[in-house]
Amino acid sequence: MDKVWKVLRDVVITICCLTTLFVGIGLVVNFDHVQKITRTLYLINEKYLGETDGDTLTDGAIKGMLDSLGDKYTTYIDEDLMAGFMQQVSGDVYGIGIYIAEDETGQYVILSPMEESPAQKAGIQAGDILKAVEGERCDTMSLDGAVGKMRGLEGTSVEITIERDGAEHTYTIERYKLGQTKTVYGEILEENSDIAYLRISEFSLQTATEFAKQINTLLEDGFQGVILDLRDNGGGEVNSAVEIARIFVPEGPIVHVVSADGSVDTRNATEAQLDVPMVVLVNENTASASEILAGALKDSDTAKLVGTQTFGKGLVQGVYQYADGTAMKITEAKYLTPNKNDINGVGIKPDVTVDLTEDAVTDTQLEKAIQVLESEMR
């Protein structure tokens, strides 16, 4: 009986935690459901022939509730994954350097390798499908689980298998400390000396500062228009994207964040610091924070978008920790563009659509962006 009461105690604690959350977001708790869960666990411990474990049963109950929501971004985080998450918050994270997301078919798509990362140096490309980590197939684990397995101690290696053009390839890649690479690259185009080209590979805590320094450097050379390249940028730190938008967007909204209770937090621009014609390059791997920036520039008529439709990741997750070190990651808000367009699962359609084929000899999207910008500069 001691084991039964321990399990019931664990379940009551779990239910109390969930009740607090559900009441907080306005969901009415039916205590008949609570009684049903409690009785189920009691019967399992009283009647089930095999061995039972309170932690396993409690974790299974939570996972089942979250899975029933049908939201791939809402998941249960075990102790190991939570420890990795806390390392990420502290900035002490070691991985291979990729941005990855789950597509509409449930596959884990590599949006892009980080610039100068071990993954990029090993030959990992945007659009590769992650199929296995350390021999474990990805269809048996969550996206968070796959990411967690790719992280580890500095100097250690991890084996990953990716699919490209229908064939699988396996790589052994050494881990490095994430967040230590440059994220902004800029130059005055050689054959178009009045155009500044800037590329953001990801949004880190330092990206907005890097971007401002790069813009100021290029201003010394003089330019009449800007091409901002957000292709294969899987997102990152939202505040950095908002700060960069404030450089170009005139007074008005940059992004609306709509919470579960219906409240709206609007991030605004006050006055553009730089008023020049602008084109933004986007593609199917432009996601999350990149879409916030692209959407703000498009909706405010600050820039034309050239390329292909963006990824469509417009949701916000919060992480809530339990006393035992596990946690729940739950979707609690969504992003809307300044014109209040919901891009999640849809993406942003460019003003000018240009496909970039694998066998292209030149960057046709960049060439089109130059044409569009030159017409705006006349």
Residues with catalytic roles: 288, 299, 313
10 Å CB burial of residue 24 (0-12, 13-18, 19+) is exposed
Q: Are 347 and 310 in contact (CB under 8 A)?
A: yes
CA dihedral angle for residue 180, residue 181, residue 184, residue 188, rounded to 10 degrees: 140
Q: Are 348 and 295 in contact (CB under 8 A)?
A: yes
Q: Name the amino acid, one letter, at 40.
A: T
Cα separation of 287 and 202, whole Å? 10
Q: Name the amino acid, one letter, at 280.
A: V
Cα separation of 236 and 338, whole Å? 20
What DSSP letter does each residue of 350-365 carry, written as one string?
A: -SEE----TT-SS-HH
Tokens representing 336 are 């809307």
Name 98's bridge partners: 113
What DSSP letter does each residue of 4-57 carry, written as one string?
A: HHHHHHHHHHHHHHHHHHHHHTTPPP-HHHHHHHHHHHHHHHHH-SS---HHHH
CB atoms under 10 Å from CB of 174, counted, come to 14
Minimal CA–CA distance to 199: which of 214, 213, 184, 211? 184
Q: Name the amino acid, one letter, at 86.
A: M
